[in-house]
Structure 1
């Protein structure tokens, strides 16, 4: 699934003021990286990434002020390439007249931001990484349980949505039902969200589609969440073998991010919502350094050694 971001969408999701080029806001942003011109201001353009958003702050503008008007116009025109999406000026500073002229000639918008340069850089990068990242869709339910993103998977009809509904009734939050859009936020973080058409909705067989936000309030839903754990619901049969001690951990690779996975057998009478809650709490305990399975195995080894000594 490929996504794109226009300058218009960037403006809508921020408080940036449009100084120049309102008619060019449909230009598309193709790179998640932004650039602060440095050596280019001295005339060195050998490796200039003109396809990125160009960000200027106090450092760049103070250097530009030292140039003559003729020098500024030459440099600004070289900065303004056809593929350049836009310029952002931080700290509510005023761009040089020569930059305004060059942008008008090349059809490039200039945006003005109130925040300091590093904050603008961070905010824009986060937005672009979430919107332009490679995305895939998976069948399942994503729920925020105790602040952890638990993706519930399993065959159709196994009880994923019903389990999520009970979790919502217990105070947890729904992120996505039926289909989860996944993207990599960074090397170690996988994010999940609902497609816009399914946002806040959950389907329960026999009842139909329900709007969770309308029934339970805004606190029962969340737009996106990190995926920390996969709980796979599998129908129990005598032939299937399920993990009993929890010492063996399965890991699933999704978009180059390793996500731990546990498989829970589904049997009549089992409260799956409580099991998912316990799975989330147990996983959090592991991330904090406590592993119940390792403690049990260590105690078992000590007991075996003590019995061996008594026999000797």
Structure 2
């Protein structure tokens, strides 16, 4: 198998409730590393050039109808050719009954043979979508991920700057926690970043002076979420006198993460600032920008128009 993320075949079998027609010893621990699935129509005719043996194979009604017109010897030859490549698994769709030659060849080559009752095209598209998510490259970043008004906000900053305290205030205000301390990030559909928590620490949060708390038990199921798209990055840093902070917001800043440009804000932290309210406004403003309304640019245009009007009246 290729390098990179993998998923156990047993996980796929359980996820899609696949029937095991034949499974050699250790078949559930076979690792899948390819996001695509192949329908071996050409292979059933004997053409194996450019055949990717690392893909799972899906046989549907078209392949089955073609094989029905062949003799038993020809079917045996086709299955022997296909199964000799030892692909991760061969899946029969539509609940079709396997040919005797198929079962015999599967046992001969220790080929995993599975079956689903689902329509071939529907099952294939669902399986590929699942594999693309499960096998997406993943990175882990230190931070807190919350969902605020439907916007995924990733909070980052030095330890002790107040990320978890801000998140707990947001949770009290009705927003949801996805991950605290460690955020697993993968690249999903349409170049969107998706964040979740490592399973071991999911729904837990560390608050200095209190310790570890279970957010789900304290605030209920509505206070947590398994995963969310990451729509913006907020960097929290201690207020520095003399530092220049953006007061207008006309300039947009981005951070590249896994090849995706993520809108980024830097928010200074000091006593008296209500960070939860600031983040609520930031999330709503980010949504407005995505919908085509940029308050900072509109304000700038109004100022420019006002200045132009003053200059014209003075002439």
SS in structure 1 at match of 2:29:
coil
Residue 16 (structure 2) aligned to one of 14, 17, 36: 14
Q: Is the 8 A contact 2:23 2:110 kept in 1?
A: yes
Q: Count the aligned residue pairs.
A: 312
Q: Counterparts of 1:134 and 1:156 in 2: how far apart (Å)? A: 26
Show the 5 A alignment for 1:233-252: 233-252=236-255
Q: 1:175 to 1:98 in 2, by over 3 A?
A: same
Q: Counterparts of 1:258 and 1:122 in 2: how far apart (Å)? A: 28
In the other structure, the counterpart of 2:171 is 168
Deviates more, 1:94-103 or 1:199-208: 94-103
Q: Is the 8 A contact 1:188 1:258 kept in 2?
A: no
Q: Counterparts of 1:144 and 1:88 in 2: how far apart (Å)? A: 38
Kindly provide the CA deviation profile for residues 11-51 of structure 1, in whole angstroms up to 9, marking residues without a partner as x. Answer: 12222221221632222212111111121111111111111
Q: Counterparts of 2:223 and 2:299 in 1: how far apart (Å)? A: 37
Show the 5 A alignment for 1:185-204: 185-186=188-189, 188-204=191-207
1:273 deviates by 1.0
- TM-score in terms of structure 2 length: 0.94
Q: Is the 8 A contact 2:185 2:196 kept in 1?
A: yes
Q: Is the 8 A contact 1:50 1:79 kept in 2?
A: no
Residue 109 (structure 1) aligned to one of 109, 112, 115: 112
Q: Is the 8 A contact 2:156 2:233 kept in 1?
A: yes
RMSD over aligned CA atoms reads 1.6
Q: Counterparts of 1:125 and 1:254 in 2: how far apart (Å)? A: 24
SS in structure 2 at match of 1:25:
helix
Query: Which blocks of at least 5 consecutive residues in structure 2 are unaligned?
Result: none
In the other structure, the counterpart of 1:263 is 266
Residue 294 (structure 1) aligned to one of 275, 292, 297: 297
Query: Which blocks of at least 5 consecutive residues in structure 1 are unaligned?
Result: none
1:250 deviates by 1.2
Residue 4 (structure 1) aligned to one of 6, 30, 37: 6
Q: Counterparts of 2:85 and 2:8 in 1: how far apart (Å)? A: 15
In the other structure, the counterpart of 1:207 is 210
Q: Counterparts of 1:146 and 1:66 in 2: how far apart (Å)? A: 58
SS in structure 2 at match of 1:141:
strand
1:126 deviates by 2.7
Q: Counterparts of 1:224 and 1:81 in 2: how far apart (Å)? A: 40
Show the 5 A alignment for 1:121-132: 121-132=124-135
Show the 5 A alignment for 1:79-118: 79-118=82-121
Q: Does 1:229 align with 2:229?
A: no
SS in structure 2 at match of 1:151:
strand
Q: Does 1:283 align with 2:286?
A: yes
SS in structure 1 at match of 2:146:
strand
SS in structure 2 at match of 1:241:
coil
SS in structure 2 at match of 1:94:
coil
SS in structure 2 at match of 1:177:
strand
Q: Does 1:33 align with 2:36?
A: yes
Q: Counterparts of 1:38 and 1:50 in 2: how far apart (Å)? A: 14
- TM-score in terms of structure 1 length: 0.95
Q: Is the 8 A contact 2:5 2:33 kept in 1?
A: no
In the other structure, the counterpart of 2:152 is 149
